[in-house]
Structure 1
Amino acid sequence: MTRRTAHPPRRPRPRTALGTRRGRRVLTGAAAAAALLLTGGCAGTAPGEPGARDGNPTGTVTVFAAASLEESFTVLGERFEKAHPGTEVTFNFGGSDSLAAGITNGAPADVFAAASTRTMEVVTRHGDADGTPAPFARNRLAIATLPGNPRSIRSLSDLTRPGLKVVLCDRAVPCGAAARTALDAAGVGLTPVSYEQDVKSALTKVELKEADAAVVYRTDVRAAGDRVEGVEFPESAEAVNAYPATVLKNAPNPTAARAFLALVRSAEGQRVLNGAGFLAP
Structure 2
Amino acid sequence: MTTRTARRTLHVTGAAVAALLVLSACSSSGSGSSASGPAKVSGTVTVFAAASLQESFTALGKEFEKAHPGTEVDFSFGGSDTLAASITSGAPADVFAAASTRTMTIVTDAKDNASAPVTFARNQLEIATLPGNPDKVASLEDLTKSGLKVVLCDKTVPCGAAAQKALDASGLKLTPVSYEQDVKSALTKVELKEADAAVVYKTDVRAAGDKVEGVDFPESADAVNDYPITLLKDSRNAEAAKAFVALVRSAEGRRTLTEAGFLKP
TM superposition score category, shorter chain reference:
0.7 to 0.9
Distance 1:190 1:68 in 2: 23
Distance 1:78 1:254 in 2: 19
Check whether the contact 2:61–2:73 (CA below 8 A) recurs between aligned residues: yes
Q: Cα distance, 1:128 vs. partner? A: 4.5
- 1:81 maps to 65
**Letter of the 2:158 counterpart:** P
Q: Deviations over 1:103-145 (max 9, x none)?
A: 0000000000000000000001103443210100000000000
- 1:184 maps to 168
* Structural mapping, 1:4-153, within 5 Å: 55-153=39-137
**Letter of the 2:155 counterpart:** R
Distance 1:241 1:55 in 2: 35
**Letter of the 1:211 counterpart:** A
Distance 1:119 1:230 in 2: 26
Residue of 166, 173, 177 corresponding to 2:157 = 173
Unaligned runs of 5+ in 2: 1-36
Check whether the contact 2:39–2:239 (CA below 8 A) recurs between aligned residues: no
Q: Deviations over 1:60-110 (max 9, x none)?
A: 000000000000000000000000000000000000000000000000000
**Letter of the 1:259 counterpart:** A
Unaligned runs of 5+ in 1: 1-52
> After TM superposition, what 4+ stretches of structure 1 lie above 4 angstroms from structure 2?
none
Distance 1:269 1:129 in 2: 25
- 1:236 maps to 220
- TM-score, length-scaled by structure 1: 0.80
Q: Deviations over 1:40-64 (max 9, x none)?
A: xxxxxxxxxxxxx972210000000
Task: Name the SS for the 2:44 alignment partner.
Answer: strand
- 1:44 maps to none
- TM-score, length-scaled by structure 2: 0.85
Change (3 A) 1:149 1:173: same
Distance 1:115 1:131 in 2: 17
Q: Higher Cα Rg: structure 1 or 2?
A: 2
Check whether the contact 2:107–2:114 (CA below 8 A) recurs between aligned residues: no
Residue of 258, 263, 271 corresponding to 2:242 = 258
- 2:204 maps to 220
Q: How well do the aligned residues superpose, as a CA RMSD in angstroms?
A: 1.1
Q: Cα distance, 1:185 vs. partner? A: 1.2
Check whether the contact 1:173–1:197 (CA below 8 A) recurs between aligned residues: yes
Aligned length in residues: 229
**Letter of the 2:144 counterpart:** T
* Structural mapping, 1:186-201, within 5 Å: 186-201=170-185
Check whether the contact 1:129–1:246 (CA below 8 A) recurs between aligned residues: no
Change (3 A) 1:54 1:246: closer
Residue of 204, 216, 232 corresponding to 1:248 = 232
Distance 1:127 1:241 in 2: 25
Q: Cα distance, 1:166 vs. partner? A: 0.1
Residue of 144, 148, 155 corresponding to 2:139 = 155
